[in-house]
Structure 1
Amino acid sequence: MQPAPRLDLRLSAFFKRPEMGTALGFLAVYVFFAIMGGPVFIGAPGWSSWLNIAAEVGIIALPVGLLMIAGEFDLSVGSVVPAASMTTAMLAGHYDFPALVAIFGGLAVGLGVGFINGIIVTRSAIPSLIVTIGVMFAVMGLTLGIAVMIKGSTSVSYVPAPLAKAMLGQFINGMFNVAIFWWLGFVALAYFVLHMSPLGNWIFALGGDRESARNAGIPTRKLTIGMFMASGFCAAFVGVAQVMTYQQAQVAGGQAFIFNSIMCVVIGGVLLTGGAGSILGIFLGTITFAVVNQGVFFAALDPNIGSIIVGALLLVAVLSNDTFRRLAAQASRTAK
């Protein structure tokens, strides 16, 4: 007679997971914009629109979320995206290097910026928020200065080779960007790292108590540097993909990714204080943000109203995620 109650407990625990708040939020905003946007929004044009947005911001939100779970921030992603774009376009479009060399050059920029962030954060007492703001402005200045010095312009055009275009910037059926599949691959990799490998426990431990994690033998410095490098790499990947997609690099592009990625992570239930969060939550937070972002356009709403909706969604998500987190803790104690 025991199996039934145990099944009930499992179902109860499932519906009290912290991610349920984000999942309900996604369903609510999708239904709202499906009604307001009509058949176009719920059809292929609507799905392709918000999935393309979700793919770009989602690739960056994943490592940003891991850093936030570990108690760190990375605002430099907003400068890495255009820096990687300009590097790729410069190498291939201006100096005529092969596309593969240009792509590696753009990705190397992200890894380098991430390494610098990690080194400064781990070897000083300066909070990562301040460090990455400083690095962001430094990279922005360098990108602008080098672009003007070499090209005399803040933009660089580049027509990618067919293979590079197909791998990183192709639109399937003219609507769905291939970046969507890259994003899903990054989601799978991040899920494995955080929830199925020992690194995940280390990341949670960093966010819970860094000193205790260090005393437990966790290589906190190497792990922190590695996460910052992953963040830089993903931001650079998006920058490179943008060049292949739009065939142009802009110095001013990328700033929106700073707060959009953090917003996706927070909507997904990651605590700003660190120590709690999940990849599923970040994934749901990303698609929720993307639906709102594009739903405003399809519903023909005033952009200012869209900003109000996004702000309200952020506040509601934080409150609901906290509620579901408490319910999840209660369910866990009950199951024991």
Structure 2
Amino acid sequence: MSQANEAIESDERVKRISPLRKALIRPELGGMCGTVIVFVLFLIFAGDSGMFSPQGVMNWSQVSAQFMIIAVGACLLMIAGEFDLSVGSMIGFASMIMAIFATTFGWPMWLAILVTFAITISLGAMNGLIVVRTGLPSFIVTLAFLFILRGFAIFLPYAFEGKSNIGGIKEISEGDWLASVFGGKIFKGLFQWMGDNELIATFSRGTKAGQPVIEGIPMLIVWALGLIFLGHFILTRTKFGNWIFAAGGDSEAARNSGVPVDRVKILLFMFTAFCATVLATVQVMEFSSADAGRGLLKEFEAIIAVVIGGALLTGGYGSVLGAALGALIFGVVQQGLFFAGVESSLFRVFLGVILLGAVILNTYIRRIITGER
């Protein structure tokens, strides 16, 4: 075995990669560096503001979890070489039809949720079918669906209720077995014990006196972590994950090698719709209402998170863990600006700057991988 290794090492046809080069081509590198920088900055400028107290951590964790849920689907699709710009509108559309089914039609919450998932996943499949059958750029196809779904999200509540916001979800979802999967909390007993032993803060007055300020881990965070694990496992441990990379790297070569490129892309469009509907359902349960403007610009935030996480815009390269780190950066910065007393509108400035930096870094990485100058 050692002789074989020596022969390989001495073979001039074998391209040797230095440890530094290996580190540079890791897709998570940009996300890891960005995460460290962001945490250090806010530890310095907002460390005394409560940002890193249990309540502060829970705040930016929930914001980050929202980005993570949609970033997982967007990441897999972008690695396969496609985009879905309808994600944000899908969130608004899904939340609205779910609320209409439950309130206007009087369906039980579990049925409204399941039917909503069936409709949105079918729309995701339609997106994918149009892209692979017509050969049109997914950017154009999903841009059209962005306007279609947003239009329906605005039209439907006015058509059925005469307003843009539908409430009353809390009463309908009370005790519903499926609603609790999206809107409940876990480890409540543990957090109550921590509060009783003064490990975390508790309310000192009112009807909640003695109860912990943090009641448990919201299902929003549970869903985010679950989807990250699922996406990472599929991408790195399954044959389907290899197909995703192949479809985004060189689709024609992948087809010639027996990879079902069209089926892979259609399934990934369905998965992005699934992730969008998960976030929509969680938000409906959290706010006990649906609003026509929900999900606005989320598609671009998901793409930016994926790019920050190291995915190439050309496809064939990326990481779910990197996308999750990009989403974490979003959540920390969005809440960190508030804790630091900085004008919140500067968050958009940050998005533009970090997107530009991530694209430049990814271009450099692509040149390292392909050997271009």
Structure 2 Cα separation of the partners of residues 205 and 328 of structure 1: 15
Does 2:74 align with 1:61?
no
More helix by share: 1
Structure 2 Cα separation of the partners of residues 78 and 123 of structure 1: 24
Structure 1 Cα separation of the partners of residues 122 and 353 of structure 2: 37
The correspondence for 1:26, drawn from 25, 30, 35, is 35
Once structures 1 and 2 are overlaid, which stretch shifts more, 304-313 or 250-259? 304-313
2:328 corresponding residue in structure 1: 287
**What are the within-5 Å matches in structure 2 for residues 1-336 of structure 1?**
15-16=23-24, 17-39=26-48, 40-157=50-167, 158-159=169-170, 160-162=173-175, 163-170=177-184, 173-174=214-215, 176-323=217-364
Structure 2 Cα separation of the partners of residues 315 and 216 of structure 1: 35
Structure 1 Cα separation of the partners of residues 53 and 367 of structure 2: 37
Q: Structure 1 residues 26 and 322 mapped into 2: Cα distance closer, same or farther (>3 Å)?
A: farther
Structure 1 Cα separation of the partners of residues 153 and 122 of structure 2: 14
Once structures 1 and 2 are overlaid, which stretch shifts more, 49-58 or 269-278? 49-58
Is the contact between residue 52 and residue 176 of structure 1 (CA under 8 Å) also seen in structure 2?
no
Q: Secondary structure at the match of 1:42?
A: coil
Q: Secondary structure at the match of 2:330?
A: helix
Is the contact between residue 305 and residue 326 of structure 2 (CA under 8 Å) also seen in structure 1?
yes
Structure 1 residue 174: deviation in Å?
A: 4.5
Is the contact between residue 83 and residue 106 of structure 1 (CA under 8 Å) also seen in structure 2?
no
In the comparison of the two structures, how many residue pairs are matched?
324
Structure 1 Cα separation of the partners of residues 119 and 81 of structure 2: 24
Structure 1 Cα separation of the partners of residues 143 and 81 of structure 2: 16
Structure 1 residue 76: deviation in Å?
A: 0.7
Structure 1 residue 313: deviation in Å?
A: 2.2
Structure 1 Cα separation of the partners of residues 45 and 369 of structure 2: 34
Is the contact between residue 82 and residue 250 of structure 1 (CA under 8 Å) also seen in structure 2?
yes
Q: Which amino acid aligns with 1:308?
A: V
Gaps in structure 1 of 5+ consecutive residues:
3-8, 331-336
Greater gyration radius: 2
Structure 2 Cα separation of the partners of residues 288 and 324 of structure 1: 21
Q: Secondary structure at the match of 2:290?
A: strand
Structure 1 residue 110: deviation in Å?
A: 1.7
Structure 2 Cα separation of the partners of residues 10 and 279 of structure 1: 25
Q: Secondary structure at the match of 2:51?
A: helix
Q: Structure 1 residues 278 and 264 mapped into 2: Cα distance closer, same or farther (>3 Å)?
A: same
Q: Structure 1 residues 33 and 325 mapped into 2: Cα distance closer, same or farther (>3 Å)?
A: farther
Q: Secondary structure at the match of 2:136?
A: coil
1:6 corresponding residue in structure 2: none
Structure 1 Cα separation of the partners of residues 229 and 342 of structure 2: 35
Structure 1 residue 10: deviation in Å?
A: 9.6
Which whole-Å deviations, capped at 9, do the CAs of 1:164-196 have from their partners, x for residues lacking one?
A: 453212356247532101111111110111111
Q: Structure 1 residues 90 and 287 mapped into 2: Cα distance closer, same or farther (>3 Å)?
A: same
Structure 1 residue 144: deviation in Å?
A: 2.3
Gaps in structure 2 of 5+ consecutive residues:
3-16, 187-213
2:13 corresponding residue in structure 1: none
Structure 2 Cα separation of the partners of residues 181 and 271 of structure 1: 28
Q: Structure 1 residues 10 and 165 mapped into 2: Cα distance closer, same or farther (>3 Å)?
A: farther
Structure 1 Cα separation of the partners of residues 297 and 218 of structure 2: 19
Structure 2 Cα separation of the partners of residues 71 and 15 of structure 1: 24
* Identity value in percent: 38
Cα RMSD (Å) of the superposition? 2.3
2:211 corresponding residue in structure 1: none
Q: Which amino acid aligns with 1:180?
A: I
Q: Secondary structure at the match of 2:81?
A: coil
Structure 2 Cα separation of the partners of residues 179 and 105 of structure 1: 20
Structure 2 Cα separation of the partners of residues 140 and 310 of structure 1: 23
Is the contact between residue 79 and residue 315 of structure 2 (CA under 8 Å) also seen in structure 1?
yes
Q: Structure 1 residues 243 and 286 mapped into 2: Cα distance closer, same or farther (>3 Å)?
A: same
Structure 2 Cα separation of the partners of residues 328 and 123 of structure 1: 31
1:5 corresponding residue in structure 2: none
Q: Structure 1 residues 125 and 326 mapped into 2: Cα distance closer, same or farther (>3 Å)?
A: closer
Structure 1 residue 325: deviation in Å?
A: 6.5
Is the contact between residue 104 and residue 160 of structure 2 (CA under 8 Å) also seen in structure 1?
no
